[in-house]
Amino acid sequence: MNRRIKRIDRDLFQGYRTFECPVEVLSLRGKIPALLALNLFLRACNRSEHSNFEGRVRFPALDASLARKMNVNLSSIGSAYRCLERRKLVTRTRNRSIAGEYGTTEVSVCNPRTGQTLLNSPDRADLLTANTVSSFEVPVEYLEHLNHIPQSSARAVLIAAIYLANEAQAETFDVARCHWRKTSSVCEKSFNHAVKMLGKVQRVQHGKKKIKVPKLLRYNGGTLILLDPQTGKPSQREPLHRKMSIDFELMSASDWERVISEVRKEEFFTKANGWTSTTKHNFCPFCHYPACFNLNFAEQAFHCFKCHEGGKLGFLLKHLTGLNTMPEVADYIVQILRSPIETEVAV
Ligand SMILES: [Zn+2]
């Protein structure tokens, strides 16, 4: 081992939110299908982490929002899907409504070795490991930057670096240049250019905006360091597991009703079976169809009949507020519950 490297006792990607991605993504050479696969597996892992259902992991395709996120056009999303379907990484199904017209398209993630769709088990948060799919961990923050990097070769080189960090179980590790290049499957010239680019701050055009891509790695004397995108230095983050400011399990049905009503600016009527009744004014926040979305405050659950999105209210709230982590959602809930109840003054 290189003596200059200080051995630090810390977990890989400590302080980052991460998700699992199948190793097959490496062979997609950073092209649009690779980026799409990363974004879909992030969704799948999120979907599995916050729900308590047993069964296959599926979610609405929402192609337009993915295209915006990845800054590509809709037709490239379509061809990227076909590539992933050929490689058995995903399958798509179309829902047909009772009237016969096509509804939302749903995506399921698969085990690329067998083509079987992945099953969620409520007691396992790590979806791919639970389904014995060979995978590696990717920090969500890195994926956000991957979505902004326009060159596929630079994306391939960064994905390979993240994979090698998983192998080494460290964000600072020794790796031969040729091994890294082979892992990324790009040619020598593009590789050298990509390593240089990823070590610098870049400004790139993303849609109509100019976006800053920070320094993401440094390679010096055979040592590769994945840098903290926030500081541009080797990461010194504290472990992520911040205590939640409220225990969701201990929240009452009326607490949940108050919080969700406040966020949705909507009143609910709970039926005898515990589920709220659906009206044509209540839209599903996932597929945006009316009259298909209902909630169960006592069981802290929600469900949509149209897109089959469902799970815990904590997950729903995370989606509605756009917050990144569950501790942030917990803080948000505490804030609402502590604020005085607004009562309408009777005239
Ligand atoms: Zn829906």
- How close is the Cα of 323 to the center of ligand 1, in Å? 20
pLDDT, residue 338, reads: 87
Cα-to-centroid distance, 146 and ligand 1 (Å): 29
- For the 248-338 domain, the top CATH level (class) is alpha beta
**Residue partners of 287: CB distance under 8 A and separation at least 6:** 60, 103, 104, 304, 306, 307, 309
Per-residue pLDDT of the chain (347 residues; tens, 9 = 90+): 444 444 456 789 988 989 999 999 999 999 999 999 999 999 988 878 766 667 888 888 888 889 999 999 999 999 999 999 999 999 998 876 556 666 678 899 999 999 999 988 766 668 898 898 999 999 999 999 999 999 999 999 999 999 999 999 999 999 999 999 999 999 999 999 999 999 999 999 988 899 999 999 999 999 999 999 999 999 988 877 667 888 888 889 999 999 999 999 888 999 999 999 988 777 899 888 888 899 999 999 999 988 888 889 999 999 898 887 888 899 999 999 988 776 555 44
Q: Would you kindly state where each structural domain of the chain is located, as residue ranges?
A: 18-226, 248-338
Expressed in angstroms and rounded, the spacing between residue 51 Cα and the centre of ligand 1 is: 15
Q: Please name which of 77, 81, 140 lies closest in space to residue 108, comparing C-alpha atoms.
A: 81
310 CA distance to ligand 1 middle (Å): 9
Q: 306 alpha carbon to ligand 1 midpoint, in Å?
A: 5
Distance 59 CA to ligand 1 centre (A): 10
**How far does residue 278's CA lie from ligand 1's centre (Å)?**
12
Q: Ligand 1 mean position to 303 CA, how many Å?
A: 8
Burial class (CB in 10 A: 0-12, 13-18, 19+), 259: buried
Q: What is the pLDDT of residue 196?
A: 96
The rounded Å distance from CA 252 to ligand 1 centre is: 25
Residue 194 has φ and ψ, to the nearest 5°, of -65, -45
Show Cβ contacts of residue 189 under 8 Å, excluding neighbours closer than 6 positions.
Answer: none
- Ligand 1 center to 22 CA (angstroms): 28
Distance (Å) from CA 289 to ligand 1 centroid: 6
In the numeric block, which tokens belong to residue 239? 């472990």
> Ligand 1 centre and the CA of 314: distance in Å?
17
Per-residue model confidence (pLDDT) at position 162: 98
CA of 267 to the centre of ligand 1 (A): 19
